[in-house]
């Protein structure tokens, strides 16, 4: 493949990249929308039209990703990751049709409209209790990420799965350990041994916990999601085996905790940074849906997703060969001036094109509707219960995650102004 490019090479792990990513995306969209990035050994695709077109269909697939990364593990070290690989290799995101279709048809029941309608009032109660508790414990100053964005998605998932409140702290620990591994795994050529050691311990604990929980629910079903996911005749006639339910539930825990966390932090930050829009939302809380959608477009919690070319394909004069790694930049697509008027502006009156923040095609995020509802209810609770919330950090220089794909704010000190 040709390595002669108009754009120079850069590292996605440098602070300069983190600080200037959107300017760099613009340069790539303009001068080289299909760019070979040597550090990542991947093609970067940055225009909205290209991302929207090629996330749909069968031209770019996910199943080679884990195999390709494991080829980069030094000989003899494969066993250090096997427990984790055994779990994540079964996730829908790393499987294409027909395996993906079978898994998704069962897991879809977790996110039917009626399931989301059932959980919405519970989310509202959790938000109210958590906000009241935070204020009671901390007074007028607290860290929004630590107390709200990190906590509430975990509590909601625990309620959905029927995990007792006494186990929430353990659950958060498990989720954070899985996230540490996955956030490193998706951006590095090979997995990290040090990170994997703790993740393996947490995975063993959560597999044991869910195994016992499924056994208990089969004997005495509860009104929770885990009970509804259990197959009557596991591993027969296409139904999911208990081990498959456990592994897909672990995937749900990872995505259903960390992505809403990042989206919540990004959403509140954008409101702080755009006081006129924040005032409009306070005046009309029905703008909450537009607020969340605009946040996903402007500060996507997932900046890019990885695929592999199924066959050779030519795009904008570049030859992408079969099995080449391709990064589709959702964060760039959302700021494409060819699709969005004044794309750098955060505007609640925006109409027209939809963002691609939840991906596309049959691999589009299965929990998108649930995530929207959850984030909307948390932000609605914040606006209605603590309208005087104000930042106590530098709005021009927030502490973003250092990860180039999972994008959120690490710490957000806030206060409740009079």
pLDDT tens-digit readout, 194-213: 999 999 999 999 999 999 99
CA-nearest of 48, 41, 107 to 331 is: 48
Q: What residue has token string 């995505």? A: 255
Burial (CB < 10 A; 0-12, 13-18, 19+), residue 236, is exposed
Q: Which residues pair with 309 in a beta bridge?
A: 60
Does residue 311 surpass a pLDDT of 50? Answer: yes
Please report, for residues 270, 348, 349, the alpha-carbon distance to residue 341 in angstroms, rounded to integers and kept in the order given.
Answer: 18, 13, 12
pTM summary value: 0.94
Contact 280, 349 (CB under 8 A): no
Provide the pLDDT for residue 97: 93
Per-residue pLDDT for 296 more than 60?
Answer: yes
Cβ-based neighbours of 390, under 8 Å, separated by 6 or more: 272, 414, 415, 416, 417
Residue 238: predicted pLDDT: 73
Average pLDDT over residues 72-96: 93
CA distance 239 to 237: 6
* Token code pair at residue 117: 């309608």
**Torsion angles phi and psi, residue 259, rounded to 5:** -65, -45
| 69 pLDDT higher than 60 | yes
Q: How many residues does the chain have?
A: 418
Handedness of CA 154, 407, 414, 15 (dihedral sign): positive
pLDDT at 229 over 70: yes
Report all structural domains of the chain as residue ranges with CATH numbers, in order of start. 15-416 (1.10.630.10)
Q: Residue 233: which pLDDT band, with cuts at 50, 70 and 90?
A: confident
94 to 47, 75, 90, 308: CA distances (angstroms): 24, 23, 7, 11
Q: Counting runs of H as helices and runs of E as strands, what totals does the chain give?
A: 16, 12
pLDDT value for 2: 38
| Mean pLDDT confidence for 332-336 | 98
3-class DSSP state of 228: helix
Pick the closest to residue 257 from 367, 392, 122, 126 (CA basis).
367
The percentage of residues in the chain with a pLDDT greater than 90, rounded to a whole number, is: 79
What is the pLDDT at residue 3?
38
Under a CB-based contact definition with an 8 Å cutoff, are residues 382 and 389 in contact?
yes
Distance CA 33, CA 28 (A): 5
% residues pLDDT > 70 (the chain): 99
Per-residue model confidence (pLDDT) at position 224 = 86
Q: Residue 6's pLDDT is what?
A: 62
Closest residue by Cα to residue 40 from 259, 306, 302:
306
To the nearest whole number, what is the mean pLDDT of the chain?
A: 93
Burial 203-213 (b: 16+ CB within 10 A, else e): beebbebbeeb
For 31, residues 6+ apart whose C-beta sits below 8 A from its C-beta are 6, 7
CA atoms of 85 and 89, how far apart (whole Å) = 6
Q: What is the C-alpha to C-alpha distance for residues 391 and 416, in angstroms, rounded to an integer?
A: 9
Helix (H), strand (E), coil (C) string for 126-157: HHHHHHHHHHHHHCCEEEHHHHHHCHHHHHHH
Average pLDDT over residues 228-255: 87
Round to whole Å and give the CA distance between 83 and 90. 12
Q: What is the pLDDT of residue 367?
A: 87
Convert the pLDDT of each residue in 2-55 to its tens digit.
Answer: 334 468 899 999 999 989 999 999 999 999 999 999 999 999 999 999 999 999
Q: What is the mean pLDDT of residues 99-113?
A: 84
Cα torsion through 400, 261, 67, 79, rounded to 10: 90
């Amino acid at each position: 493949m040709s390595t002669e490019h108009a754009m120079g090479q850069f590292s996605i792990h440098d602070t300069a990249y983190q600080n200037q990513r959107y300017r760099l995306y613009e340069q790539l969209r303009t001068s080289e929308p299909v760019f070979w990035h040597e550090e990542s050994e991947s093609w970067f695709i940055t225009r909205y039209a290209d991302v929207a077109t090629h996330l749909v269909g069968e031209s770019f697939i996910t199943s080679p990703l884990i195999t390709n990364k494991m080829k980069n593990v030094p000989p003899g070290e494969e066993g250090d990751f096997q427990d984790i690989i055994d779990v994540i290799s079964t996730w829908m995101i790393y499987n294409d049709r027909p395996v993906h279709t079978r898994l998704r048809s069962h897991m879809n029941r977790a996110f039917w409209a009626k399931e989301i309608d059932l959980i919405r009032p519970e989310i509202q109660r959790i938000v109210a209790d958590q906000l009241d508790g935070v204020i009671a414990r901390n007074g007028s100053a607290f860290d929004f990420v630590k107390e709200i964005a990190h906590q509430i998605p975990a509590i909601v998932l625990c309620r959905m799965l029927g995990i007792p409140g006494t186990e929430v702290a353990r659950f958060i620990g498990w989720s954070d350990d899985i996230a540490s591994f996955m956030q490193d795994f998706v951006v590095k050529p090979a997995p990290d041994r040090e990170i994997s050691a703790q993740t393996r311990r947490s995975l063993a604990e959560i597999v044991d916990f869910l195994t016992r929980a499924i056994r208990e629910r089969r004997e005495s079903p509860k009104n929770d999601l885990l009970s509804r996911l259990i197959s009557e005749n596991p591993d027969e006639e296409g139904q999911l085996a208990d081990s498959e339910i456990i592994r897909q539930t672990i995937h749900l825990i990872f995505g259903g905790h960390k992505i809403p966390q990042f989206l919540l932090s990004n959403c509140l930050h954008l409101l702080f940074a755009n006081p006129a829009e924040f005032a409009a939302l306070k005046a009309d809380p029905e703008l909450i849906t537009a607020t969340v959608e605009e946040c996903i477009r402007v500060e996507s919690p997932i900046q890019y997703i990885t695929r592999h070319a199924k066959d050779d394909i030519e795009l904008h004069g570049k030859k992408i060969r079969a099995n080449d790694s391709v990064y589709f930049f959702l964060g760039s697509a959302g700021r494409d001036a060819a699709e969005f008027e004044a794309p750098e502006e955060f505007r609640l009156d925006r109409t027209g094109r939809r963002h691609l923040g939840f991906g596309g095609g049959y691999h589009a995020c299965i929990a998108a509707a649930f995530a929207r509802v959850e984030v909307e209810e948390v932000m609605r609770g914040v606006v209605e219960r603590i309208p005087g919330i104000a930042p106590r950090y530098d709005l021009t220089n927030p502490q973003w995650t250092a990860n180039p794909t999972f994008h959120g704010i690490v710490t957000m000190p806030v206060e409740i102004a009079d």
